[in-house]
Amino acid sequence: MINFRLEERENKSLRRQIISPFLAVFVALIISSLFILLAGVSPIDSFKELFIGSFGSRNAIAETLSRATPMILTGLAASIAFKARFWNIGAEGQLYAGALAVTFFGTGLVELPSFIMIPFLFLVGALAGGLLLLPLVLLKNYYKVDEVVTTLLTNFIVVLLVSYLLEGPWKDPMSLGWPQGASVIDQGVLPQILSRTRLHLGFIFSIFFAILIWIIISKHLIGYQIKAVGFNPSAANHSGVPVLKTIFIVALLSGGMAGMAGVTETAGLKGYLTLDLSPGFGYAGIAVAMLAALHPLGVIASGIFLASIYVGADAMSRSMNVPTYLADVIVAITVLCVLVSLIINQYKFRFLEQNK
Amino acid sequence: MNPLLKVQSISKSFGDLAANSEISFEVNKGEVLAILGENGAGKTTLMNILFGHYMPDNGQIYFKNNPIKFGNTRHTISLGVGMVHQHFTLADNLSVLENIIIGQKSLFSFSLSKKTALDKLNSLIEKFSLPIDPDAMVSDLSVSQKQRLEILKTLYKDCELLILDEPTAALTPQETEGLFKTIKNMVNQGLSVILISHKLNEVLSVSDRIIVLRNGKKVGEKKTANADYKSIASMIVGKEISYPKKIKSKPNREVLRLEMVSYKSDHDLDVKINNLNLKLYGGEIIGIAGVAGNGQQSLAKLLTGHLKPTEGKIFINQNEVIDSSPKNFMNQKVAYIPEDRNKDGLVGDMSIWENIIMTETDSIKIFNQLGFINSKNSHDQALSICKTNDVRLQKIDQPARLLSGGNVQKLLIGKWLYRKPQIIIACQPTRGLDEGAIAAVHRMILDARKDGNGVIIIGEDLDELLSLSDKICVMYNGHLSKPLDTLKTDKLTIGMLMSGKGF
Amino acid sequence: MILEFFEIFFTAGFWAATIRIACPLIFATLGEVICERSGVLNLGIEGIMSLGAMVGWMSVYLGADLYSGILIAALTGALFGLLHAIFTVYLGASQHVTGIGITMFASSVGFFSFKLILPSSTTPPKIIPFEKLEIPFLSEIPFLGEALFQHTPFTYLAFFSVIIIFWLLNSTPFGLSIKMAGENPMALEAQGIDVLLVRTVSVILGSSLMAIGGAYLTMSAFDAFYFGMINGRGWIAIALVIFAAWKPERALLGALLFAGLDAYQVRAQQLAGAFIPYQFFLMLPFFLSIVAMIIASKRTRYPKALLIPFRRGERH
């Protein structure tokens, strides 16, 4: 029997910490090759197609970056929450909540000049996402109800709500019977930033928020308290850190980021709300955050990278007979590989000889 | 005559720390051997090696001339060695009988054979007179009953050599007497016992032979009949530790008062506090003794703002406290040294300086007006606190969990003293520390008293409480006894109160 | 009109539907109970159910008989359970993130494989699922016969599983070890029993049950595999585990209660569909799960060692 022990490493080398996400991705791609082989296709050719599909042309890059926009935001949502050891798996629902807020306020109810309108839409989207998460945070704090399950279940509830609204009261009369929301008014639409592509202002916003969150987490009191509460809420409490207030802030920030992902998709990419607005951006955000080791700036890079996997896989499935689900497989394996790399960073393996 | 147990040159290191160096000794049948040493001397490491939890780097152990297979607890148990750990290895949600039969039958067998087990258990209860209810849930048992269960577990497995690791840590003086009677009983029935302890007095009364460990080495061995307190004590400690002297106290103004304070929580797990009255003056130390689980934790939390009384009032400096929050108590200059320094005291994964500034969130020097961390001021303050309190570290940026127990405690107390508190609530402040650190902590507490501040020490070590405190109370079942002058009382009286007599 | 809402309870069809709807939840909840009792939270449940549904169905589609299909689904679940255990039990990785990763991995592998084998299917192809097995004599009792004794063998298997798992946990040494591993693993180690092994076997066993639960949907309740057909049942099972206070017999009760509400909701929808949109009926199970968790949280006692990795030889 393999008898081993994990011994905590005394010094966590910075070099190892920087290399490990890359190593994790590399290993994940190798393991994914097995699945590509199952499809009867050469992995090398597939990865070439994947790369071309996501970075090989001006259009491809624009598509990748526009796909990265919501993923960076949901990645930030997961990063903030996970740093506080609050397992917010509800980004998907919070995203749709943000989209609902945009549809409610931005399709004609409120009319403001666009330099006010756009930040306004981001604000209501963020509030919607944050307020959706808040009661679940309170449930965890006062009733010890596990947030993983409640946030997950809430996703299903929100999506059903969207379905009801889009088939019913919020159905766009101009949509020829297709269930979708009314169009966002011109002042609220996020302008295109690269001609003849789908890349819109939302991308700039997502970068901006990543930098903002990074500053807060690393240099500000709030970020400091979030980290303390995440590492050891009891010790933080004993030292006078307001734990409940901190958790509130985490909920608003985390849910808010995810809500804003809903804003970028509704007011930027599509222009209106549909039921398939998010092909799982909320869940992908978890992978983005893990790969970035919960670092807000790293989220930009890992968001773009994972977006390229999805965009590239779409292109690849058109030219070769590999199902688009390959992207999901690669992302899932990446999450698992990142987990392994975290263990390797923190512990040393010690094999024990059995004394016979 | 062949010794029952023969330990030869056992050595074990954890990184740079040599926990055991070339330790050799023997145990004879029918003998009670005591292994003495202060915290960190290597006693528990040695026993864990014997029992199969750790692998030694070198050395051999023979039991009845059979070599022990290291790392193989199953084998050690089957040879006839049993151990009662310092922290009980019981499952609270299972019954007494279930806890005993665990591991008895192969994991592949289909039945638990509860009936035969019950018969065997009952006969053991008779033979060793250790009464216990086989169907009771472990969560309902008292500490000494749990210990009895742990002993029965080893007897059930036909142990011939029983190892007891710090068995009296959580017992009242009367329960300790009961335990020693049990040990004598077991020896009469043919068992041998190894007793691990740091309490010299107890060891002298119950053992046949004594071994002393210090810094991982065996430094002395004596027959108890030939041993005297002083020579053994100097073997344990080695060098001269200067213990701070307590000067006569001059209590000044009242700093803290509890009036008819009661507390009942929603969870049934917390003990109800009933009509507590307590007065603390600046310049005095009040010790609160009691067996763990009688409400001390709740009391500590009430005294520091972590819990709000359901009835009664708390006064700080004669002003009634309205806002029960940790922050408010901190602002009113109350310091809290929690019992579990690793769980509640420090955030292990954050750096030392980050831990130190955690209580300083309203200091403009550390967090400027906009809330941004001033790195330089933080580092300076941290370095100054560590220097003043002799906290040994490598870098101020290193994760706090790398500090040793004694340094953690010095850091925690130093961090709080920096804020110049007038009331200090300390829970088990020297638990698990070596003598040098204990002396340092005592000095810090006595200095605070000298400066005119009030200190409440909640603890289980009667010797420490009696030596440090001016007055002593006992907590039993949520009630607090009237304070007794420490110069005019003794351990027996306190022991009675700890068992609930006299309330 | 109001009377019709009550009459639903008096139709045998309602009770039969309750039992059918309960089965995947029974398997899944039992599986999670075993995992959590040993101290491991298995959030891979949703993905493993999805994969089990796909694998069981696909085996039959490709020629295996129905019982082999169940076995193959179980083995697939066991494999992913082993993967989960390697991460959480042996490496001590975060049980939360591992579980989400396993769910993502298992479900994506399932979808990928399905699309690979059946690339062009606008309407999902069907297999011949389990037929109803009428128990002689008992199935002819009026009302009760149709309600209880005209089910597929797979359904009877679900109830049989409850008995087996109950017996395992309460009357065998292995079951006792599982309970102790989740409460105080040091106690287990002190007796020389390998905690990591006990936990790993528990997770493997639990995951097999979860996969079987998924397979029930494609092999007994329905006859085809749809993407997203698990639809949150895995997460609901996690809520049910808490509601069941980690006891198998209560898991059965919880699943039946829940399924009853679901069966009722379907029928009530037909009556009230004109007034209340169907989406609100569909939301009900999820709301109820959250409510169940809130109610249960007040009085429950989590297995003490749940979520805490056990590392051998650590200094205490």
Give the gap in angstroms from C-alpha A340 to the nearest C-alpha of chain C. Answer: 8
Per residue in A120-159, pLDDT tens? Answer: 999 999 999 999 999 999 898 888 888 999 999 999 999 9
> Is the pLDDT at A305 greater than 70, yes or no?
yes
pLDDT of residue C274: 67
Element at B335 (helix H, strand E): strand B334-337
Please give the single-letter amino acid code of residue C127: I
Note whether B320 and B261 are same-domain residues.
yes
**B338 is written with which tokens?**
């929690």
Nearest CB to B91; choose among C173, C184, C192: C184
Instruction: Give the helix/strand (H/E) hosting A286.
Output: helix A281-291
Count the Cβ atoms, other than its own, within 10 Å of residue A102.
29
Among B180, B211, B237, which residue terminates a domain? Answer: B237
> Which pLDDT does position B1 carry in this prediction?
64
Sign of CA pseudo-dihedral C56, C59, C64, C68: negative
B26, with CB counted inside 10 A (0-12, 13-18, 19+), is middle
pLDDT classification of A352: cutoffs 50, 70, 90: low
Helix A14-38 / helix A326-346 crossing angle, nearest 10 deg: 150
Cα(C147)–Cα(C2) distance, integer angstroms = 24
Closest residue by Cα to residue C255 from C13, C45, C44, C24: C24
**Tokens coding B122:** 């009952």
Q: Do B296 and B316 share a domain, yes or no? A: yes
On chain A, the residues whose CB falls within 8 A of the CB of C311 are 5-6
β-sheet bridge partners, residue B372: A220
**Full residue range of the structural domain in which residue B100 is found:** 5-237
Distance CA C162, CA B388 (A): 64
> What does each of the 503 residues of chain B score in pLDDT, given as a tens digit?
688 899 999 998 877 778 888 899 999 999 999 998 877 788 888 988 888 878 888 899 999 888 888 888 888 888 899 999 888 889 888 999 999 988 777 788 888 888 889 999 999 998 888 889 999 999 888 888 999 999 999 999 889 999 999 888 778 878 888 899 999 999 998 899 999 987 888 888 889 999 999 888 888 888 888 888 777 877 877 766 666 777 777 778 888 888 888 888 766 566 788 888 999 998 899 999 988 778 888 899 999 998 888 889 999 988 888 888 888 899 889 999 998 888 888 898 899 999 999 988 888 888 888 889 998 999 999 999 998 888 888 888 888 888 887 888 989 999 998 888 999 999 999 887 877 788 889 999 998 898 889 999 999 888 888 889 999 999 988 899 989 988 888 888 888 888 877 77
Question: What is d(CA C265, CA C253) in angstroms, rounded to the nearest whole number?
Answer: 18
Contact status, residue A257 vs residue A95, Cβ threshold 8 Å: no
Do the chains contact at C286 and A283, CB–CB below 8 Å?
Answer: no
Interface of A with B in 193-222 (CB under 8 A): 219-222
For A183, the token pair is 């169009």
pLDDT at position B109 is 82
Could you tell me if residue B339 is inside a domain? yes
- pLDDT per residue as tens digits for the range A264-298: 999 998 889 999 899 899 999 999 999 999 999 99
Write down the pLDDT at residue A353. Answer: 54
In a domain, B418, yes or no: no
User: How many beta carbons lie within 10 A of that of residue C237, not counting itself?
Assistant: 31
Of A227, A234, A355, the CB nearest to B70: A355
What is the pLDDT, as a whole number, of residue B462?
84
Instruction: Identify each DSSP E strand in chain A by its residue range.
Output: 4-8, 347-351
Q: CB C104 to CB A287 under 8 A?
A: yes
**Looking at the domain assignment, is residue B398 inside a domain?**
yes
Q: Do C304 and B93 touch (CB under 8 A)?
A: yes
C-beta of residue A237 within 8 angstroms of C-beta of residue A225: no
Cβ <8 Å between B111 and C172: yes
Q: Which residues of chain C have pLDDT under 70?
A: 1, 121, 273-274, 312-316
Question: Is residue C191 within 8 Å of residue C180, measured between CB atoms?
Answer: no
The confidence score (pLDDT) of residue A346 equals: 83
Whole-number mean pLDDT of chain A?
Answer: 90
Task: State the Cα angle at A155 between C296 and A255, rounded to 5°.
Answer: 100
Mean pLDDT calculated for residue range A239-246: 90
Residues contacting residue A116 through CB under 8 Å, at least 6 positions apart: none
Do B133 and B34 have their domain in common? Answer: yes
B434 and B447 co-located in one domain? yes
Asked if B91 and C186 come within 8 Å (Cβ–Cβ), the reply is no
Domain A26-31+41-345 has CATH 1.10.3470: yes
* Type of residue numbered B210: I
Nearest to B373 by CA among A224, A232, A247: A224
Q: Residue A135 in contact with residue A163, Cβ under 8 Å?
A: no
Q: What's the number of domains chain B is made of?
A: 3
- Higher pLDDT among residues A209 and A321, named by residue: A209
Q: Which of C38, C171, C186 to mutate to test the interface with B (most CBs of B within 10 A)?
A: C186
**Tens of pLDDT, residues C58-112:** 999 998 899 999 999 999 999 999 999 999 999 989 999 999 999 999 999 999 9
Nearest to C212 by CA among C95, C55, C87, C99: C55
| Same domain as B56, residue B191 | yes
Same domain, B130 and B260: no
Q: Which sequence spans correspond to the domains of chain C?
A: 2-116+150-299
Q: Which CATH number fits domain C2-116+150-299: 1.10.3470, 3.30.420, 1.10.490, 3.80.10?
A: 1.10.3470
**C contact chains, 3+ CB pairs < 8 A:** A, B
* Consecutive H or E run containing B163: strand B161-165
Residues found in chain A: 356
Please tell me the total number of residues recorded for chain C in this structure: 316
What's the pLDDT score for residue B272?
A: 83
Burial environment of residue C71 by CB neighbours within 10 A (0 to 12, 13 to 18, 19 or more): middle
Please give the pLDDT value at position C315: 42
Whole-angstrom distance, CA of residue C276 vs CA of residue C297: 31
C contact test, residue of B93, B164, B165, B401 with most C CBs within 10 A: B93
For residue B227, give the nearest of B199, B204, B196, B197 by alpha carbon: B204
Within-domain flag for B473:
yes
Q: Mark yes or no for CB contact B345/A227 under 8 Å.
A: no
Contact residues on chain C for B82, CB-CB shorter than 8 A: none
Q: What is the pLDDT of residue A1?
A: 45
Q: Enumerate the residues of chain C whose CB falls inside 8 A of the CB of residue B75.
A: 192
Name residues 121-180 of chain C within 8 A of A (Cβ). Answer: none
Question: Which residue from A minimizes the CA distance to B398?
Answer: A11
Give the ranges where C149-247 is alpha helix by DSSP (H): 153-171, 173-183, 185-190, 195-216, 233-243
| Cα separation values, B423 from A81, B339, B427, Å | 37, 17, 13
Q: What is the average pLDDT across A228-238?
A: 90
Cβ neighbours around A316 below 10 Å, total: 28
Spell out the residues 6+ positions from residue C299 whose beta carbon is closer than 8 angstroms to its own: none
Of the residues B47, B50, B53, the best mutation for testing chain C's interface (the one with the most C CB atoms within 10 Å of its CB) is: B53
Per-residue model confidence (pLDDT) at position C316: 37
Q: Please check whether residue B244 lies inside any domain of the structure.
A: no
Q: Are B36 and B198 in contact (CB under 8 A)?
A: yes
Question: How confident is residue A356, by pLDDT bands cut at 50, 70 and 90?
Answer: very low
Dihedral (CA of B223, B225, B230, B231) sign: negative
